[in-house]
Amino acid sequence: MTKSRIQEMAKPYMEYDMIQSHTSLPDFPESRARLLLAFLNAKGIQEDNRNLFALVTSLVQIALDTHDQVPESNELKEQNEARSRQLKVLAGAYFSSRFYNLLSQAGQIDMIRQLSLSICEVNRMKMNLYLQMKHLKLTAEEYLRQSVNIKTQLFLSFSKMISEGHRKLWPEILTGFTKCEVLVKEILRAETPNHFRNSWGFWHMLQFGTKEERSYLLSEQAEAGPIRSMLDRNHIIDKLSIMLNEQLDYLKECIRRLEPSNLSEELTRLRETYYRYAGRPQLLEEI
């Protein structure tokens, strides 16, 4: 996916030598930022304001996602690991502070309040998900649903700014694209078994795998080789690819419900960025 102007605008706040040298940041919420821009543009929101809203919301999302990457334990023996952990904590706090700073400078006090409420709700939803994970009370379907809901919450803060004609479709389309984003991430996780714990495939195999597979997944000795064999045997990537294709077809129907416009054209282009993960040729479809 090519970088949008919002990602370019975010670079000065994110690209620091210390961070790039000693830790990594989560992926930029590119598709959600582009969606927000497209819908605000369709409403006729001033360009400076819509760019600002997409930028600060993306920075907050990066802040929350960065803190999710912080290891649970403080007992890191390697100096590099300890430094990475500290930088993730500091980077997340810094990105959050820029959200307040940028909106207050622009006089967008109501937006600060709305996004702050959404941040609280995201953290509540995450805690609920983590508790279910800890107690192994989670299905693959529920994991996917909650993951999508968590990732859409910040961007739903702008629902009242969406034009009345698009307001009913906004959460549906936002959820649809976010589900594609999550499914792509899960496909990539299934291709790298070292990042498999608590993925969609992990919960799917705990739910439907054999007794031996479930026991092995929960053991502390689980290694990449056997996990790869279980992934292949249970066709995890194929299942995720099927779900992604179904979601792309669903989004096509959602976009068709929009009047032909710059908005529908942008959503079609955004939808096509997921084709290569779904094993489909990338060609511009009729709207």
In this prediction, residues 209-225 reach a mean pLDDT of 88
Q: Among positive and negative, which fits the CA dihedral 84, 86, 90, 93? A: positive
Q: Is the pTM of this model over 0.85?
A: yes
- For 154, the 3-state DSSP assignment is coil
Nearest CA-CA partner of 26 in 156, 174, 177, 195: 195
Of 105-119, 132-146, 210-224, the range with the lowest mean pLDDT is 210-224
Confidence of residue 18 (pLDDT cuts 50, 70, 90): low
Angle between helix 169-191 and 30-43 (nearest 10): 170
Phi, psi angles (nearest 5°) of residue 12 = -60, -25
Structure tokens at 3: 């970088």
CB 121 within 8 A of CB 153: yes
Structure tokens at 221: 């000795």
Nearest CA-CA partner of 42 in 179, 158, 152, 176: 158
Q: Residue 57 has what pLDDT?
A: 96
In this prediction, residues 177-195 reach a mean pLDDT of 92
Neighbours of 119 (CB within 10 A): 19
Neighbours of 72 (CB within 10 A): 6
Exposure b/e, 174-185, CB count within 10 A at least 16 = b: bbbbbbbbbbbb
Confidence of residue 132 (pLDDT cuts 50, 70, 90): very high
Q: Chain-wide mean pLDDT for the chain?
A: 88
